Amino acid sequence: SADLKLLEEATISVCKSLVEKNPRTGNLGSLIKVFLSRTKELKISAECQNHLFIWQAHNALFIICCLLKVFISRMSEEELKLHFTYEEKA
């Protein structure tokens, strides 16, 4: 759709920067880990009508989806592995 095309055009520089720096920083993996660790709280948040938490989780998932789309469309399988095998240096 037109909105999706506008979003991709507006965020391409940020995505390119993340693609370049992520093997060193592990930011994408960290975002995914935080999202997954917080999903357990979503049910409780829905029951308590904590709309702020649900909104934050929705936004995090949206960002992850957008980034993964860029990663998958622009990288080989080997390059993708580099982005998900980050190990923190001691």
| pLDDT (0 to 100) of residue 86 | 58
Domain ranges of the chain: 2-83
- CB burial readout 52-67, b (16+ within 10 A) else e: ebeeebeebeeeeebb
CA separation for the pair 14, 87 (Å, rounded): 23
| pLDDT (0 to 100) of residue 87 | 62
Which distant-in-sequence residues (6+ apart) come within 8 Å of 59 by Cβ? none
The whole-model pTM stands at 0.75
Give pLDDT tens digits along the chain (90 positions).
888 889 888 888 888 888 888 888 888 888 888 888 888 788 888 888 878 888 888 899 998 988 888 888 888 888 888 777 756 655
